[in-house]
Structure 1
């Protein structure tokens, strides 16, 4: 199993700090979960059904004509590589580590690429995989460029797989509306924007034939009845979407400014996190953890990802810890 953020329990054990004393900024999940109304008993008592309105609500929310709900986008990440014969796969790096892990495990040959290297390698690839906005760097690739890459791949029967897990805050940059085109596959994550990662829900947007193959591989009832009911409710709450986007944007700007003032100018980010490269990333990670603040550490390249503080008090706590770090380094 690969390492991931959000390992608060391990940090509690390692640093001996009680759970209620931690400020957990280790994930890129909105820290304001959508309020969940009481879940009807029938959602628990009956097997899930695909005509309950979830697909319709999700299609409207994402602006697409067809999609497949799955038990978190992780389910699709692991399954999609098995739907192609082994080939040559390019992955924009760094990125969410489960993507290259899944393609290697399915027998594909991988090459790690930067955005500037894609043009030179694209015609030798069967599949190109990327995260947009990227996790962990927040790097964005223009919609027009992605569609041009897809056209070149699709002309040879190739795939462009775009993981848009962090796209909800900037939906006009999505290519999901074009995923009817053969060879374009878009993954969307429910839990990050809605602050409900524990629900384990994602959606795959692609041509109908591929969605059918994926559905048959994953089997029936992959998304629980309660998850389907909660997601449908959240997708339909249009007024709350705008409020969540605004709240994230304000918090991300405040976080970026706090890091800048502490001599840690972000090297990237989006409205759900900020990304800082530093040779002293491991030391700063430990420095903050000893003060009960958990952030996400990356080793290659050495960097930290800071999630959004939820309140002014949490923002001030992080700012004070970073000021202490700056003073120590002076």
Structure 2
């Protein structure tokens, strides 16, 4: 089965066209359903190019959030672009952890898939996510630190889902003395994927090469303004970090009650395995609930976090309607 929904999360318009309209719930993306609220009240001057000082201010406040020296931070128009550009700059041979995010296999030409154990014990350039997508597996801090010792190649860590709990992040280890690059996504934790904002943290030489590839004005003024304000909202960040695990626990309890075994330590999504996940995907879609199936893993279904009790109840009812 290869459809728009097995390639990537999202595809809501395609789902509506295929399954019919209605009041859809999109649980396919793993994006925070409780977005940072300040963006709705902001206004932008669309006639002016973004000022370099505004971009620098965004990178500085994001660096404080990541606990990284601002000299090692470069804002990019989405972490997807950051992954691809850095992969092209590094080149060489590489291994990417599978299962994992599809773009990881395209970052470096000729990269080969490997299971986590094999990849962790290689000396090549290594591409992995922490937390991993789609299974939500987290590599603990000690194991991540071990990755950076006795390795000839780069370690490229996609931390797109790390903002919900940054305890296992290696961002603070980025420096000019090691081949480590870390990627963060703004849209997932802050729930504003349409802003198209991400960050690369890396040695200054790699950051300089990345800026050269990006050219002038890499971000829209709206992305700069929204990102700067959101990263400064420490109260919202702390509240959201407390809320997401609570909401994920409610999703877990419901899934278990319906006979499933949810896995994953990232509170923004859960993975379940059943004999025919594609059939369940289609059954949920007929209830106007979009989830994430996988062509290469026909037993897997990833389910994002419902926005509220009503959305959770709709998912519960749809799962019960077997």
TM interval, short-chain normalised: over 0.9
Deviation per CA, 1:85-136, whole angstroms, max 9, x where unpaired?
Answer: 4x221111111101102323xxxx322122222354x13x1x1000100010
Identify the residue that residue 89 of structure 1 maps to in structure 2: 94
Deviation per CA, 1:34-79, whole angstroms, max 9, x where unpaired?
Answer: 112533444x232112322211111111111030000000111111
Identify the residue that residue 143 of structure 1 maps to in structure 2: 141
Corresponding residue SS for 2:236: helix
Deviation per CA, 1:213-258, whole angstroms, max 9, x where unpaired?
Answer: 0110121111111110011000000010111112211111111111
Q: Distance in 2 between matches of 1:37 and 1:283?
A: 38
Q: Distance in 2 between matches of 1:45 and 1:249?
A: 41
**Is the Cα–Cα contact under 8 Å of residues 277 and 301 in structure 1 kept in the other structure?**
no
Tell me whether 1:130 sits opposite 2:125 in the alignment.
Answer: no
User: Cα offset for 1:263?
Assistant: 1.1
**Is the Cα–Cα contact under 8 Å of residues 137 and 265 in structure 2 kept in the other structure?**
yes
Query: Counterparts of 1:1-330 in structure 2 under 5 Å?
Result: 3-18=7-22, 21-35=23-37, 36=39, 38-42=41-45, 44-52=46-54, 53-66=57-70, 67-85=73-91, 87-104=92-109, 109-120=110-121, 122-123=122-123, 125=124, 127-153=125-151, 156=152, 158-180=153-175, 181-302=177-298, 303-325=300-322
User: Cα offset for 1:279?
Assistant: 2.5
**Is the Cα–Cα contact under 8 Å of residues 269 and 275 in structure 1 kept in the other structure?**
no
Flag structure 1 segments of 5+ consecutive residues without an equivalent: 326-330
More off after superposition, 267-276 vs 220-229? 267-276
Q: Distance in 2 between matches of 1:268 and 1:77?
A: 23
Q: Normalising to structure 2: TM-score of the pair?
A: 0.92
**Is the Cα–Cα contact under 8 Å of residues 163 and 186 in structure 1 kept in the other structure?**
yes
User: Cα offset for 1:3?
Assistant: 2.1
Flag structure 2 segments of 5+ consecutive residues without an equivalent: none
Aligned residues: 311
**Is the Cα–Cα contact under 8 Å of residues 266 and 276 in structure 1 kept in the other structure?**
yes
Q: Distance in 1 between matches of 2:43 and 2:16?
A: 35
Q: Distance in 1 between matches of 2:258 and 2:44?
A: 50
Q: Distance in 2 between matches of 1:223 and 1:41?
A: 13
Q: Distance in 2 between matches of 1:165 and 1:237?
A: 19
More off after superposition, 45-54 vs 286-295? 45-54
Distance 1:16 1:248, change over 3 A: same
Q: Post-superposition, which runs of at least 4 consecutive aligned residues in structure 1 deviate over 4 A? A: none
